[in-house]
Amino acid sequence: MPKQEFSLPQWEPFLTNHPGRGTLRVQVSTAEGTFPVAKAQVEVSVRVQGVAVLLYRQESDESGIVQGLVLPAMPLSASQNPNTAASSATVYRVTIRHPSFTAILDRPVDIYDTIETILPADLEPLMAEEGM
């Protein structure tokens, strides 16, 4: 889904409804987590009023990690109330690209207030064309 520019007046209601802050750490690897993938482009977006808003675009480090992504979240009290706990996560979408691997597109990840969410992402190598 293409990311679009988003104005502050459109963003303010989202921030008002998501006063908490959670963090995201993405661990990019291959071979079922055996080898880290450096220099993978990691994008984090959220849908607001039907528009995908790009919040972060960063490159994984030598350990395959992108960390410290602070994201708006529902208040902590929402996850502790039995009436609202099931809908207390704020869903973000993560896209990961690297020229040597198949991309992961719009993978959902739940973010909660005061919690660091760790998203492991295992990339599949692109197959070399036959005869090369």
pTM of the model: 0.87
Rounded-to-integer distance, Cα 95 and Cα 108, Å: 9
Rounded-to-integer distance, Cα 30 and Cα 121, Å: 8
Pairing of strands 65-73, 90-98: unpaired
How sure is the predictor about 76, in pLDDT bands with cuts at 50, 70 and 90? Answer: confident
Supply the pLDDT for residue 80.
75
pLDDT at 7 over 90: no
